[in-house]
Amino acid sequence: MAPQFLRVVVNRAGRYALWPHARPTPAGWIDTHFIGSRTRCLAQVGELSRGRGAPAAGAAGSPPPPDAAGRPPTDAPAQTLTGLLASVTADAPNAPAVVHEGHRTSFRDLDRRSDGLARILAEHGVRPGDTVGLRLRAGVDAVVGRLAVLKTGAAYLPLPAGHPAGGARVRLHLVLSEPEWATSERRHAVPVLAWRHRNPTGRALARAVRAGDPAYVLTGAVPLGGLLLAHRHLVVAGRSATAVPSPDLRAGVMTPQPHGPGLVVPGAVEGALWGPLLRGDEVALDPVTGNAPVLTADTLPVGPLPVGRWQVLDADLRPAPTGQLHVGAAWLGQVAADDPVRSAQWLVPDPSDPSGDSTLLATGWRFGT
């Protein structure tokens, strides 16, 4: 059970968080001396953040926070997924980008195919800021579909079977579907485009995409379902995918749970896909799932590691052998920092970080008995 009373704390970067009032202020954070219920504390965060001139809304287009050195990041196209991949393609067009079932797709082919599909999507009314559902078979086509949507300036939302919005409360402008699934998708009252021409030709779609433009709708994680990520967040997730986190939790080693589903760090699947491509490396899709392989929280196979670190904390946010599973990832902090109230609602100070710079997301999953 969550503590009845909380207090508002703030770190040197100006990020607000809620902390159990009976516990000492976490290292690196300052007590604002406001104590109350969760609802009252969040309202206080809103008041404090408005006084500091913080953004009042968490739209994907909100200004990005400064980097560690205090420099404001650029919003140039080169800082978008599409811009970065265009640079990689220009440097090594014939290098393999995606490998699946023994077939290699080069960066040039990935760029050409996604250009053609982006133009088709635009002809069907997809505009910057829209959200496009992807009901595609996992594999190279799913990668092409993602990149094509990004080139239109829209955000993509991968859709599982039977779930028109993947559990996220978002409005879909269009669903791009496999032809054999198009009929079943139409029952959800959303326009459906059956993708039949897999090798379209034509000039590239000339649309400017910025780092703050929407790119991806996160699904499947509590409480992040429906969170809209900007290009800069996906870039951070992809680049973070090369980091090697410790496989053990602060309160003990994560033991295999073969009878339960793998708990994947939110955004890890997309990070594992875009990370190698942003580096100019090929991404080998799993021959069974058709997705980029990621490490789950309950197994530790050899291969790409997840975008984050895991900790188990009790109701008072102390490391414990049983409790709620928390995850820390650089991009999570960035996306939530766009909205101070959302940041305080979802992220808590990392009790293991004496600098006060790190935060953790409470996933809603529990660990232990």
8 A C-beta contact, residue 285 and residue 303: no
Phi-psi map region of 108: left, alpha, beta (phi>0 left; psi -120 to 50 alpha): alpha
pLDDT at 91: 97
DSSP 23-50: SPPPTTEEEEEEEE-HHHHHHHHHHHHH
8 A C-beta contact, residue 241 and residue 268: yes
Model pLDDT for residues 245-267, shown as the tens digit of each residue? 433 333 333 332 323 334 555 66
In order along the chain (369 residues), what is the average pLDDT of each group of 10 residues?
78 91 94 95 92 47 39 53 94 96 94 93 93 90 95 90 56 90 75 81 75 81 66 81 41 31 61 90 84 51 43 88 78 68 86 88 70
Model pLDDT for residues 96-115, shown as the tens digit of each residue? 999 998 899 999 999 999 99
Query: Could you tell me which CATH number the domain at 77-284 has?
Result: 3.40.50.12780
Distance CA 314, CA 348 (A): 12
Domain ranges of the chain: 77-284
CA distances from 249 to 67, 241, 252, 309 (A): 28, 18, 5, 8
8 A C-beta contact, residue 79 and residue 86: no
The enclosing H or E element of 145 equals helix 140-151
For 99, residues 6+ apart whose C-beta sits below 8 A from its C-beta are 105, 282, 283, 284, 285
Total-model pTM: 0.71
For 146, residues 6+ apart whose C-beta sits below 8 A from its C-beta are 134, 156, 273
How many residues comprise the chain? 369
pLDDT at 63: 39
Distance CA 62, CA 284 (A): 34
> Where in the chain does DSSP place strands (E)?
6-11, 16-20, 29-36, 96-100, 103-106, 131-135, 155-158, 174-177, 192-194, 214-218, 227-230, 248-249, 252-253, 283-284, 309-313, 323-328, 347-349, 359-367
pLDDT at 163: 55
- How many CA atoms, within 13 angstroms, populate the side-chain half-sphere of residue 212? 13
